[in-house]
C-alpha cells in the first residue's frame, strides 16, 4: 500500500489511465459508497488529465437514475429498492458506455435524466476523440450489469462513520434534517452497500483501491491488471 499527498495520488491515477491502451476512449469507473469522496476525486482527476491534454468526459450514475415512481416503488427507505430499482442500465449502455467502447461510434450522451425535475433529458449527441477518457463516478459500478464495460476500475473506500459524518453536512439541504439524513443512511444506503459487498465483492474487481478517510493524506493500493 502507498501513502502520500493528494497530488501524489492524482498523479498515480493519471499514470494508471495513461497506461491503458485502447483504440477507443478509456472508460474509468470511480466506485464506492455514498459520501466516500468519489465525485471530488473524479473532478480533481479530470483537472489533472485535461492539463495533460486529454479530452475528459465527466458523467455520474445520478444522471442515469430511473424515474422517481420506479426508484421509490418499495419506499424511500428501502435498501432493496436502492440496489434493484434505482438505475437505468439499458440507457447507460446505449447512451454512453457502449458508444465509447469496442466497436462503438464514439457518439454519446452523458446524461439522460434530470433528478431535480424527475424528467428525461434530451441532450445533444457529442462525438468523443478516440483517446478521450470517461471518468464515471457512482455507487454499485462493479455489479454484473456494468463490470465488463470498464477499462479501469477505481474503488474509493472510507469508514461508514466517516461517510455518515460527511453526509450530515452534504445532504442536509436535500433531506431537510440531520435526522432524515441519518435515517436514509441507516435504512437505505448502508444495507444496500452491505448487500453489494456480500454479493459482488467490489474490491476484488478494482484495479486501484483508494482509502479516503483522510482525503489530504490518502492511501492507495494498485492491483495487477
Range of the domain at 53: 2-220
What b/e sequence results for 125-151 when a residue is b if at least 16 CB atoms lie within 10 Å of its CB, and e otherwise?
eeebeeebbbbbbbbbbbbeebeebbb
Q: Is residue 112 part of a domain?
A: yes
Average pLDDT, the chain: 94
- Convert the pLDDT of each residue in 150-196 to its tens digit: 999 999 999 888 888 888 988 777 878 888 888 988 999 999 999 99
Q: Is residue 167 part of a domain?
A: yes
Q: Is residue 151 part of a domain?
A: yes
Q: Is residue 225 part of a domain?
A: no
The CATH number of whichever domain residue 59 belongs to comes to 3.40.50.300
- Convert the pLDDT of each residue in 77-128 to its tens digit: 999 999 999 999 999 999 999 999 999 999 999 999 999 999 999 889 999 9
Q: Is residue 187 part of a domain?
A: yes
In the predicted model, is pLDDT for residue 224 greater than 80? no
The total domain count for the chain is 1
Reference 87, options 39, 139, 46, 47; nearest CA is 139
Q: Is residue 150 part of a domain?
A: yes
Q: Is residue 50 part of a domain?
A: yes
What interhelical angle do 6-18 and 38-51 show, nearest 10? Answer: 70
Q: Is residue 114 part of a domain?
A: yes
d(CA 151, CA 88): 21
C-alpha cell at 62: 445520478
- Convert the pLDDT of each residue in 120-137 to its tens digit: 998 899 999 999 999 999
Amino acid at each position: 500500500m502507498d501513502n502520500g499527498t493528494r497530488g501524489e495520488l492524482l498523479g498515480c491515477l493519471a499514470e494508471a489511465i495513461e497506461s491503458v491502451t485502447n483504440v477507443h476512449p478509456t472508460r474509468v469507473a470511480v466506485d464506492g459508497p455514498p459520501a466516500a469522496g468519489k465525485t471530488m476525486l473524479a473532478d480533481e482527476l479530470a483537472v489533472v488529465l485535461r492539463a495533460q491534454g486529454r479530452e475528459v468526459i465527466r458523467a455520474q450514475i445520478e444522471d442515469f437514475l430511473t424515474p422517481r415512481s420506479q426508484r421509490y416503488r418499495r419506499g424511500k427507505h428501502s435498501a432493496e429498492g436502492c440496489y434493484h430499482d434505482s438505475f437505468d442500465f439499458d440507457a447507460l449502455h446505449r447512451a454512453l458506455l457502449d458508444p465509447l467502447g469496442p466497436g462503438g461510434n464514439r457518439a454519446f450522451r452523458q446524461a439522460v435524466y434530470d433528478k431535480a425535475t424527475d424528467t428525461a433529458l434530451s441532450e445533444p449527441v457529442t462525438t468523443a476523440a478516440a483517446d478521450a477518457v470517461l471518468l464515471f463516478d457512482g455507487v454499485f459500478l462493479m455489479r454484473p450489469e456494468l463490470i465488463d464495460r470498464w477499462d479501469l476500475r477505481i474503488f474509493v473506500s472510507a469508514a461508514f462513520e466517516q461517510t455518515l459524518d460527511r453526509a450530515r453536512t452534504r445532504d442536509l439541504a436535500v433531506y431537510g434534517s440531520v435526522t432524515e439524513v441519518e435515517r436514509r443512511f441507516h435504512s437505505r444506503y448502508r444495507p444496500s452497500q452491505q448487500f453489494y459487498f456480500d454479493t459482488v465483492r467490489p474490491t476484488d474487481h478494482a484495479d486501484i483501491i483508494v482509502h479516503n478517510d483522510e482525503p489530504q493524506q490518502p492511501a492507495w493500493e494498485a492491483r495487477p491488471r
